[in-house]
Amino acid sequence: MEIKIETPATAGKTDICLIPLFAKQELPEYCRDLDSRISSLMQGSMDAGEFKGEANQTLLLATQDKIFARKILLIGLGNKDKFSARSWQLAIATALRTAQRAKATSVSLYLPDHIDKQISNLYEITIIAAYLGTYEFLEYKEKKQEQKLITSLTLLADAGSNAAAVIAKGKIIGESISLMRDLANHPSNHATPTMLAETAEKIAGEARLDCKIFNRSDLEGMNMHAYLSVSKGSHEPPKFIVLQHNKERKALPTVVLVGKGITFDTGGISLKPSKDMHAMKFDMSGGAAVLATMRAVGLLDLPLRVIGLVPATENMPGGMATKPGDIVKASNGKTIEILNTDAEGRLVMADTLVYGQKFKPDCFIDLATLTGACVIALGNEAAAVIGNDDKMIKQIEAAALKSWERVWHLPLWDDHREQVKSDVADIQNTSKGKAGTITAAAFLENFVADIPWVHLDIAGVADTSAPKPYGAMGSTGYGVGLLIRFLECFQAPETKKQEEAPVAVTAPENIVAHQPEKPAAEKKAKTRKKSSLSFG
């Protein structure tokens, strides 16, 4: 999407002009001249009660080509006293989605001065909203070329001197969220572990990251038998993806991101019911979020050392598949009794967390569509956050408030740890009690050593089964914005040894994206239908 800034006085031709208005607001001065030229259509619609400015309300008006826009779309911001950056984002995403359905390809948006004063990072939020609202996954549509998509967005405002840099940043984040959604929306016969690995290599070339892909023989050499136990039933080879930003700068604050990459989850021998099994293509959403975040980290050149790890594989039944009751040894020496092969995500992540310790990180952050219990506990409205470090959890919660990707902190007590102890091995991959989301985290904790660690169970928020006014069905892109906000403001432990001069962690306002040598290659609804499946 091309994004530019023009002053209202120099606005060029466009299909639709978006005008945001509060409830019970008089027509602002900047709109009155426009309105007089279109026979007071805006004021008339307000007087007639056709448009009241309620949150996310839209009204499309034809201008008979009397102004620079063929049509005007009024968008409601709701009550002024309840206005927030989040309400702005939802309104703009809704408006742009409405404009796209009206077959607009070019859109202008008024950014009133009073909005700019209320929202500090207005341009960035607006651009991300544009990507969220206009996203469509059309890869497998026969007539996808005929689908009209918005390709140009003009912000009408008197911009500041750093506007170009802010636009560049917003585009990087918006594009990265769209990349995650694309990866997760592909069917599993296309989005295989091999395809994820190839995508990681392309991301590395675009964002100047170091990329390493480990194959089955490499995993065997690293004794990753928990990970390998999941892949045994599949003909698709596993791929362990390692992306690194600032690889050699080991004195920088270091964060390891881990994303579950199960490209399709049948449950293995513990086979899932057939109803809704197609949605198990989204079981790699955590891995997709990590890949997309690493792209943004590299292009934004964040002053951190960031490592993204994605253990990719399928979980399939077959003659070689792991059976319930089997015992495997993870790469840290712990033995695991596999009581349910559908609790496979924690197995691949176990070995991945052990591998991540070699980077001596200041913290681990992992994302996984790990448990159906999380959907029962929190619905489709929030991810569960669990960990061993309250300071890191608070930083995640602060980042979630900035990205509007809700999280809810659940406890992790010794009682939960007891529930994953096995009678015949060190631990078992399902619990002896309830609290499935927490006991899954208790299992993972066995593989993080004493490193600060935060686990995000995104099973309820990673995808949606029905479209919303501000977003398409399928992958929601959850996690990318949250991780970027977290990394921008990351506070590393003060005990970190400094081998280089101290570096400010917060991303500078005038950040400029890397320019690649060649272009990059190529949740849930509020009333979601009940699914008979659970993530593992």
Inside any domain, residue 493 = no
Residue 98 lies in a domain: yes
Cβ atoms within 10 A of the Cβ of 319, count?
A: 6
Q: What is the pLDDT of residue 10?
A: 84
Do 152 and 244 share a domain, yes or no? Answer: no
Higher pLDDT, 320 or 526: 320
Let me know whether 244 and 330 are in one domain.
yes
Same domain as 474, residue 424: yes
Query: How many domains are contained in the chain?
Result: 2
Which one of 453, 473, 488 terminates a domain? 488
pLDDT digits (tens, 9 = 90+) for 82-95: 999 999 999 999 99
Q: Out of 134, 160, 186, pick the residue that ends a domain.
A: 160
pLDDT of residue 450: 94
Instruction: Name the least confident of 333-337, 475-479, 500-504.
Output: 500-504
The answer to whether residue 141 sits within a structural domain is: yes
What does the pLDDT read at residue 160?
65
Residue 96 lies in a domain: yes
Q: Domain of residue 333: give its range.
A: 176-488
Q: For residue 74, is pLDDT > 90?
A: yes
pLDDT tens across 146-190, in order? 788 999 999 998 766 678 888 999 999 999 999 999 999 999 999
Band (pLDDT 50/70/90 cuts) for residue 504 is very low
Are 302 and 184 contained in the same domain?
A: yes
CA 155, CA 123: separation in Å to the nearest integer?
Answer: 8
Cα-based distances in Å from 461 to 129, 275, 299, 313, 381: 18, 20, 26, 22, 6
Ranking 87-101, 187-201, 315-329, 522-536 by mean pLDDT, the lowest is: 522-536
- Tokens standing for 180? 């995650």
- Asked whether residue 413 is domain-assigned, the answer is yes
Q: How far is CA 424 from CA 335, 339, 341, 350, in A?
A: 9, 11, 17, 19
| Percent of the chain residues topping a pLDDT of 90 | 81
Could you give the residue numbers annotated as active site? 272, 346
> In the prediction, which pLDDT does 235 show?
97
pLDDT score recorded for residue 115: 83
Residue 521 within a domain: no
What's the confidence (pLDDT) of residue 290? 99
Query: Mean of the pLDDT values across residues 30-49?
Result: 93
Across 327-356, average pLDDT: 98
Element (H, E) at 2: strand 2-6
- H or E stretch including 58? strand 58-62
CA 489 – CA 396 distance, rounded (Å): 10
- Give the CATH number for residue 86: 3.40.220.10
Choosing from 127, 160, 193, the residue where a domain stops is 160
3-state SS class at 464: strand
Mean pLDDT for the chain? 91
Same domain, 233 and 365: yes
For the cut 90, the answer to whether the pLDDT of residue 313 exceeds it is yes
- 403 shares its domain with 317: yes
Both 24 and 123 in a single domain? yes
Question: What is the pLDDT at residue 493?
Answer: 66
Return d(Cα 220, Cα 19) in angstroms, integer: 59
**Where are any strands of DSSP class E within 128-235?**
152-156, 210-214
The verdict on residue 326 lying in a domain is yes
Evaluate whether 385 touches 455 at the Cβ level (below 8 Å).
yes
Least confident of 23-37, 202-216, 218-232: 23-37
In a domain, 72, yes or no: yes
Q: Are residues 226 and 79 in the same domain?
A: no
pLDDT for residue 4: 92
| CATH number where 240 lies | 3.40.630.10
Size of the chain in residues: 536
Q: Is residue 498's pLDDT more than 60?
A: no
Which pLDDT band holds residue 513 (cuts at 50, 70, 90)? very low
pLDDT on residue 144 = 75
pLDDT class for 536, splitting at 50, 70, 90?
confident
Residues 23 and 112 in one domain: yes
pTM: 0.92
The pLDDT, as a whole number, for residue 522 is 36
In terms of domains, do 103 and 248 share one? Answer: no
Asked if 147 and 210 sit in the same domain, the reply is no
Query: Residue 309: is its pLDDT beyond 70?
Result: yes
Question: Which pLDDT band holds residue 307 (cuts at 50, 70, 90)?
Answer: very high
What is the 8-class DSSP label of residue 421? B
Mean pLDDT of 45-53: 96
> What's the rounded Cα separation, in Å, for the pair 512 and 380?
35
Together in a domain, 152 and 180: no
